[in-house]
Structure 1
Amino acid sequence: MQHSNSLLALTVASMITAGTAAAHAAEAPEGKEKCTGIVKAGMNDCGTSQHACSGMAKTDNDPEEWIYLPKGTCNKITDGKVKS
């Protein structure tokens, strides 16, 4: 029984750590912005509601997929939208 409790505690701790890392990953680096709608398939920078990893975009120009660009660049690109 003690082994099961230890395993459960480790699992919960791992989930909390992963959640914290995901929250930090959601913030754009300084001088960058998230730009949606312009990403080529397989070239996205991070996850969406459909997947959790970079490089998993299945189609070009998916409005949910995004990449980091220097601030002020996204609005200069056709169909580019800054994700807040």
Structure 2
Amino acid sequence: MTKNNALIAVALAGLMSSGIAAAADTAGAKMEKCYGVAKAGQNDCASKTGGHACAGQSKKDMSPADWKNVPAGTCASMGGKLDEAKPAAK
């Protein structure tokens, strides 16, 4: 194994272990939908206003129409809201 390959393997192992640790932190924790905290492309599901139909499709950071699952009790401290955004008037 070359030195570069070894560095890549170590970096990937670190990323994988940090992802597993993050998942373990929220495993079993009560989660809630928090609107207005998802960065563009990091929303957890469809927009309630009809802007898109799937997770990861938000186009704007912190859109009040897009939500992300967060540990219960943390939404307000992140600057989000628990109530969903109202659909835009047609």
> TM-score normalized by structure 2?
0.55
Deviation >6 Å, runs of 4+: none
Partner of residue 60, structure 1 = 61
Aligned residue pair count? 55
1:82 aligns with 2:66: no
**CA–CA separation in structure 2 for the residues paired with 1:83 and 1:33:** 10
**CA–CA separation in structure 1 for the residues paired with 2:37 and 2:55:** 15
**CA–CA separation in structure 2 for the residues paired with 1:63 and 1:77:** 13
Percent sequence identity is 44
> TM-score normalized by structure 1?
0.59
Q: Which structure's residues are more often strand, by fraction?
A: 1
Partner of residue 72, structure 1 = 73
Pairing of 1:14-33 with structure 2 (within 5 A):
31-33=30-32
Pairing of 1:2-17 with structure 2 (within 5 A):
none
In structure 2, stretches of 5+ residues that fail to align are: 1-28, 85-90
In structure 1, stretches of 5+ residues that fail to align are: 1-29
What SS class does the counterpart of residue 82 from structure 1 fall into?
coil
Instruction: Give the RMSD, CA atoms, in angstroms.
Output: 1.9
**CA–CA separation in structure 2 for the residues paired with 1:51 and 1:83:** 19
